[in-house]
């Protein structure tokens, strides 16, 4: 496995995460750790991917980013088996929880979308520092997390409230900025990336009938970032063709 590039993708059993894993597996030099909180769903995803006879390899990693102990256990498992990782995609996220008061929804979103990403960085940075190449982190954010866009009446998301999700993604962007500073001297390349409005299981709105683009289109730029195609955009809040203001 030492000759392969090892990438961990959280929330890898569905949506954009699954597509990122699939696209990474198109290359024989890639080994992907598919992070999933459900063993059942994760195993089904791995079985699906392996049935496609892709060139790369995949391995299920039980991982619930809303649970600190789960993150610590996963990091220990990866360290014992592989000793390193080369890339980390913090993709797992939650947008809303139907039927709960807004304050509780905000707490749940923050736990997964912000605290989870912070803890993933803390626990997996030591393994990224042992990368055989350039360590890269892609934090999957959203354009609706841009405060600049929220304050611009011309922005398509100006009237969208959705504070539980928007605030969590704005906070995620700050986590990204802090990571850039923290791992600056370790040669990390770190990005906040917005996939755009994409078909996913994030919410009931993320369907093609509402204009959501295919998951393949949202995932491809993440794979490009992991390849190093856009290392010049390190430390930026990027989308498929450019960047957003924070």
Active site residue 169: yes
Residue 243 to residue 241: CA distance in whole angstroms: 7
> What pLDDT, on a 0 to 100 scale, did the predictor assign at position 151?
92
User: What does the mean pLDDT of the chain come to?
Assistant: 94
Residue 152 to residue 172: CA distance in whole angstroms: 20
Q: What is the pLDDT of residues 18-29, one digit of tens each?
A: 999 999 999 999
Provide the residue range defining the domain that includes 100.
5-243
Q: What is the pLDDT of residues 182-220, one digit of tens each?
A: 999 999 999 999 998 776 666 556 666 656 678 889 999
Asked whether residue 76 carries a pLDDT value surpassing 80, the answer given is yes
Can you say whether the dihedral through the CA atoms of 176, 31, 231, 166 is positive or negative?
Answer: negative
CATH number of the domain at 234, please: 3.40.50.720
Mean pLDDT of 148-171: 92
> What pLDDT, on a 0 to 100 scale, did the predictor assign at position 169?
98
> What pLDDT, on a 0 to 100 scale, did the predictor assign at position 197?
72
Lowest mean pLDDT among 21-25, 70-74, 82-86, 241-245: 241-245
Which one of the listed residues 110, 169, 183, 193 is annotated catalytic? Answer: 169
Active site residue 162: no
- Is 72 in contact with 65 (CB distance < 8 Å)? no
Mean pLDDT of 99-120: 97
> What pLDDT, on a 0 to 100 scale, did the predictor assign at position 83?
98
- Hey, is 206 helix, strand or coil? coil
pLDDT band at 46 (very low <50, low <70, confident <90, very high): very high
- Is 112 in contact with 93 (CB distance < 8 Å)? yes
> What pLDDT, on a 0 to 100 scale, did the predictor assign at position 127?
99
Structural domain total, the chain: 1
> What pLDDT, on a 0 to 100 scale, did the predictor assign at position 1?
45
Is 95 exposed, middle or buried, given 0-12, 13-18 or 19+ CB atoms closer than 10 A? buried
pLDDT band at 66 (very low <50, low <70, confident <90, very high): very high
Cα–Cα separations (whole angstroms), residue 58 to 49, 55, 139, 194, 231:
8, 10, 21, 25, 25
């Amino acid at each position: 496995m030492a000759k392969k590039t090892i990438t961990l993708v959280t929330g890898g059993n569905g949506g954009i995460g699954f597509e990122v894993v699939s696209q990474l597996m198109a290359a024989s030099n890639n080994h992907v750790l598919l992070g999933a909180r459900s063993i059942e769903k994760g195993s089904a995803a791995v079985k699906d991917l392996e049935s496609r006879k892709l060139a790369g390899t995949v391995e299920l990693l039980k991982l619930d980013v809303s649970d600190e102990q789960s993150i610590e256990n996963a990091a220990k498992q990866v360290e014992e088996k592989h000793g390193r990782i080369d890339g980390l995609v913090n993709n797992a996220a939650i947008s809303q929880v139907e039927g709960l008061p807004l304050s509780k929804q905000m707490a749940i979103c923050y736990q997964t979308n912000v605290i989870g990403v912070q803890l993933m960085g803390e626990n997996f940075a030591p393994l990224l520092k042992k990368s055989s190449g350039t360590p890269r982190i892609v934090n999957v954010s959203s354009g609706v997390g841009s405060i600049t866009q929220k304050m611009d009446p011309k922005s398509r998301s100006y009237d969208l409230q959705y504070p539980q999700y928007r605030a969590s993604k704005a906070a995620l962007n700050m986590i990204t900025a802090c990571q850039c500073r923290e791992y600056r001297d370790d040669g990390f390349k770190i990005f906040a990336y917005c996939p755009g409005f994409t078909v996913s299981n994030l919410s009931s709105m993320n369907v093609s009938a509402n204009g959501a683009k295919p998951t393949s289109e949202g995932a491809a730029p993440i794979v490009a970032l992991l390849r190093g195609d856009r290392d010049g955009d390190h430390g930026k809040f990027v989308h498929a063709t450019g960047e957003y203001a924070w």
